[in-house]
Amino acid sequence: MSLNNKVGFISLGCPKNLVDSQNIITKLLVDGYSVSPSYEDSDLVIINTCGFIDSSIDESMDTIGETLEKCSKVIVTGCLGPRPDFIRDYFPQVLGITGPHSADAVMDLVHKFLPIPGCRNPKRVPKGGVLLTPSHYAYLKISEGCSHRCSFCIIPQIRGDLNTFNGDSLIETASHYKDRGVKELLVVAQDTTAYGQDLGYPGFKGHERGDLYALTEELSKLGLWLRVHYAYPYPHVYKLIEQMAEGKVLPYMDVPMQHVNSRILKLMKRPGNHEKNLETIAKWRSICPELTIRSTFIVGFPGETESEFEELLDFIKEARLDRVGCFTYSPVHGAHANDLPDQIPEEVKQERLDRFMLVQQQISKEKLAAKVNTIEDVIIDTATPTEIIGRTKGDAPDIDGIVRLKNKPLNIIGPGSIVKAKITASDEYDLWGEII
């Protein structure tokens, strides 16, 4: 064993998990440990797992096994943590297992198996803590858990019911991020639009009702690009759309609809239906015409008939959403949907996915083609001597499209710069342009 108290840290899963990883690494650095993004030459390794669907469980288990071959001291945390027996059946030598959002419990295990190198020193990390994102954008997780009981999802079993974070603290953290050069703030939670619901919407910063819209109102005063993810289609969401129309929040609505057929949605324990969703989308667009709408859908849900799938296709053609993800239904350990009758064969699921994406690809191609010759604000993610890559207000990092811009020799443009660009070309998912 080396004497540098080096902790390897591997983070898997979604942005919400990434925030948990940031919190743990912040505590490690404050305690004086050195941290590496690899198990190589580490004295102890922490793996923040994802355990939502089969493929993510497989990735987490493979990572644990691979790491144990290189390092004998491994701590497992994250979404696979609530299944300790499952993990220990394969890897009994794991030192300890915790669930998600449990930085203090992880640190207790680290202290047990790897002595604290020296005195704690909060000044070892910048205000707001460690960021694992590029320096110009950051995720702000505003709550933990979820109080919905969708039949295909086990988030409440993994992360518990909704637990809203203090509004004043969130605004303070966001302010620290701005001071460090962050230009884009991405608000995340399992359901951002439920913010404050569990606490009865306690007021803060002069707002009597401390809901999402009070939080975004305050965050907007920082002057950053403010993007909200994972919104639930409550009737009151139009308030967020109004803030988008006023320029306080980016005109980008991320609202996972999952399906539109009434019977399938009832089986999913989800709200909405075909016509209601179309009406909602029309209202949003009337309030904020420049709105970009992102959604995700599940095909091949147990019992989904061909006609119910075709209803979903019809909706996609009518709604003409801007950004769409689609997944085949995958059984999740502990989800109620596993027990539903009429499970769909894998080949049928895949065939429906292919048909769905073919339709949406054409819609995306047409919508992006309409942007040619327009002027867009673009935030820069990477820059080389020959090419600059960025995103419009309608594109979130890692999940949406990009804008490829020609660089000019005299341009000194780095990540985080926001430029005006004329769009010159497009394809199904990306744009090309020139800096004005």
> Does residue 130 lie in a domain region?
no
Are 341 and 383 in the same domain?
Answer: no
- Domain holding 380, by residue range, is 375-435
Are 58 and 172 in the same domain?
Answer: no
Judge whether 88 and 63 are in contact, CB under 8 Å. no
- Short-list 185, 400, 322, 140, CA closest to 390: 400
> Does residue 129 lie in a domain region?
no
Judge whether 47 and 106 are in contact, CB under 8 Å. no
Tens of pLDDT along the chain (436 residues)? Answer: 344 689 999 999 999 999 999 999 999 999 999 999 999 899 999 999 998 778 889 999 999 999 999 999 999 999 999 999 999 999 999 999 999 999 999 999 999 999 998 788 888 999 999 999 999 999 999 999 999 999 999 889 989 999 999 999 999 999 999 999 999 999 999 999 999 999 999 999 999 999 999 999 999 999 999 999 999 888 899 999 999 999 999 999 999 999 999 999 999 999 889 999 999 999 999 999 999 999 999 999 999 999 999 999 999 999 999 999 999 998 888 899 999 999 999 999 999 999 999 999 999 999 999 999 999 999 999 988 778 999 999 999 999 999 999 876 656 788 999 999 999 999 999 999 999 8
d(C-alpha 387, C-alpha 407), whole Å = 5
Of 84, 118, 152, which closes a domain? 118
Q: How many structural domains does the chain have?
A: 3
Predicted structure pTM score: 0.94
Hey, what are 300's tokens?
Answer: 């091949």
d(C-alpha 256, C-alpha 431), whole Å = 24
> Does residue 99 lie in a domain region?
yes
